C-alpha cells in the first residue's frame, strides 16, 4: 500500500474514532405545557437532559429569558449514558393571558450546541367569568336563561358587593357557590327583541386587580346562513386585470336547503353561480379593479333564508402611484 493511501485510511479511522467518542445531548421535554395558572403563583416544572454519547457531556450554561424563571441542577458534567434533572419554578407575577418563556441549554454536543426548551402557560386574571361573554340570537323559541360562573384566583375570601346591568334587560340573581366563586343567573325579561344591540354586566368585587369585571352581552338577529370568507381584503392591486374569488354560503340553524335568489348588481363585479339549491351555495366573483369606485364596498346576497353581505376592501396602484377613490378626487 502506498504511503499516501495509508495516510488517508488513517485519517478516516481517526475521524471515526473521534466521532464515536463524542457526547450526544437529548432533552426529554422541549415543550412544557403548564396549562392554566393562577396570578401571583409559583409553578414547579422539570426536564431531564440525557447523554447518549460515549464521552462526557459538558453543560456550559443553562440560560432563561425572563426573571420569572428560576432553575436548579446538580452538575455541569453528565457521563456517557447518564442524565441530569433540571428543576425550575415559573412565577406568574405581573403576567396575564398566554405566555411563552424560553430556556436555552448550551453544551459541547456536536451539532447540538444549543437546545431550546419552551414553557407555555395561560395566566388567569384575578377575576374571570365563564362564559366570558353572552351571545343571544333572536327570534327565540323559549325563555332565555344563562348561568355565569364567576371565579376568583387571588388570595383570601372573595366578595361581590353588587351586580349592575346597563340596559335593564335581565333579571339577575347572585348566589355564592364557594369562598372563591359565585353563580350569576340571568333571565331575559323580554324575549321580543327588535334590532341588534350590545350591553354590559358589571360585577363589583373586593379584588384589587379587577374591582369591576365587565361581561359583554351581544344580541343579534339569528342568521340562517354564513358566508365564507365573510371579508375579502384584496390588498394592493397594481393592474386592471380582473380578480376572481370563490365564495361559499353555508346553511346554519335550519334544516332547510339554501337557494341563492339574486346578488345585487354593481358595475365593478360579475358573478357566476356554480352550485345552488343545497346546504351550500358556491359563487365565483369576478372583480374589475378599474371600476372599483371606493376603497371599501359590499356585495349583497339575497336567499330564501334572508339577506347577508360580504365586505370587499381594495387598495390599488396604477403606474406606480396610488389611485385614490373618486370620493377623494
pLDDT in tens, 162-185: 999 988 999 999 999 999 999 999
Residue 326 confidence (pLDDT) above 60: no
Distance, CA of 263 to CA of 278 (rounded, Å): 17
Largest interatomic CA distance in the chain: 101
Task: Give residue 321's pLDDT band: very low, low, confident or very high (50, 70, 90).
Answer: very low
CA dihedral for 170, 183, 155, 119, sign (positive or negative):
negative
Q: What confidence score (pLDDT) does residue 210 get?
A: 95
- One of 3.40.50.970, 2.60.40.10, 1.10.246.90, 3.30.160.20 is the CATH number of 127-221, namely 2.60.40.10
Instruction: Give domain 225-322's CATH architecture.
Output: Sandwich (2.60)
> To which residue does cell 392554566 refer?
36
Q: Contact, 249 vs 283, CB < 8 A?
A: yes
Q: Contact, 34 vs 120, CB < 8 A?
A: yes
Percent of the chain with pLDDT over 90: 71
User: Which residues of the chain does CATH 2.60.40.10 include?
Assistant: 23-123, 127-221, 225-322
pTM: 0.65
Q: What confidence score (pLDDT) does residue 192 get?
A: 79
Percent of the chain with pLDDT over 70: 90
CA dihedral for 201, 207, 209, 211, sign (positive or negative):
positive
Task: Give residue 86's pLDDT band: very low, low, confident or very high (50, 70, 90).
Answer: very high
Mean pLDDT of 39-53: 95
Task: Give residue 109's pLDDT band: very low, low, confident or very high (50, 70, 90).
Answer: very high
Residue 225: phi, psi to the nearest 5? -155, 155
Q: Which residue has the higher pLDDT, 294 or 42?
A: 42
Residue 14 confidence (pLDDT) above 90: no
CATH for 23-123 is 2.60.40.10
Amino acid at each position: 500500500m502506498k504511503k499516501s493511501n495509508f495516510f488517508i485510511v488513517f485519517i478516516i479511522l481517526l475521524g471515526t474514532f473521534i466521532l464515536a467518542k463524542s457526547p450526544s445531548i437529548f432533552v426529554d421535554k422541549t415543550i412544557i405545557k403548564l396549562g392554566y395558572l393562577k396570578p401571583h403563583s409559583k409553578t414547579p416544572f422539570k426536564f431531564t437532559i440525557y447523554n447518549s454519547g460515549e464521552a462526557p457531556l459538558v453543560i456550559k450554561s443553562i440560560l432563561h429569558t425572563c426573571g420569572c424563571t428560576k432553575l436548579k441542577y446538580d452538575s455541569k458534567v453528565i457521563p456517557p449514558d447518564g442524565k441530569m434533572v433540571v428543576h425550575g419554578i415559573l412565577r406568574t407575577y405581573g403576567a396575564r393571558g398566554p405566555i411563552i418563556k424560553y430556556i436555552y441549554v448550551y453544551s459541547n454536543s456536536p451539532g447540538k450546541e444549543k437546545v431550546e426548551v419552551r414553557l407555555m402557560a395561560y395566566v388567569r386574571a384575578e377575576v374571570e367569568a365563564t362564559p366570558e361573554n353572552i351571545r343571544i340570537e333572536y327570534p327565540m323559541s323559549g325563555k332565555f336563561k344563562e348561568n355565569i360562573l364567576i371565579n376568583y384566583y387571588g388570595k383570601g375570601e372573595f366578595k361581590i358587593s353588587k351586580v349592575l346591568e346597563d340596559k335593564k334587560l335581565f333579571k339577575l340573581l347572585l348566589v355564592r357557590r364557594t369562598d372563591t366563586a359565585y353563580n350569576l343567573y340571568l333571565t331575559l325579561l323580554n324575549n321580543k327583541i327588535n334590532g341588534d344591540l350590545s350591553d354590559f354586566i358589571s360585577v363589583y368585587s373586593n379584588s384589587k386587580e379587577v374591582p369591576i369585571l365587565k361581561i359583554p352581552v351581544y344580541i343579534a338577529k339569528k342568521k340562517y346562513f354564513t358566508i365564507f370568507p365573510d371579508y375579502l381584503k384584496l390588498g394592493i392591486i397594481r393592474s386592471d386585470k380582473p380578480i376572481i374569488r370563490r365564495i361559499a354560503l353555508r346553511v346554519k340553524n335550519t334544516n332547510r336547503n339554501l337557494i341563492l335568489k339574486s346578488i345585487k348588481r354593481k358595475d365593478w363585479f360579475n358573478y357566476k353561480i356554480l352550485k345552488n339549491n343545497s346546504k351550500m351555495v358556491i359563487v365565483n366573483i369576478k372583480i374589475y379593479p378599474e371600476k372599483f369606485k371606493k376603497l371599501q364596498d359590499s356585495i349583497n346576497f339575497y336567499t330564501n333564508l334572508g339577506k347577508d353581505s360580504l365586505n370587499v376592501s381594495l387598495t390599488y396602484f396604477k403606474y406606480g402611484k396610488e389611485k385614490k377613490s373618486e370620493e377623494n378626487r
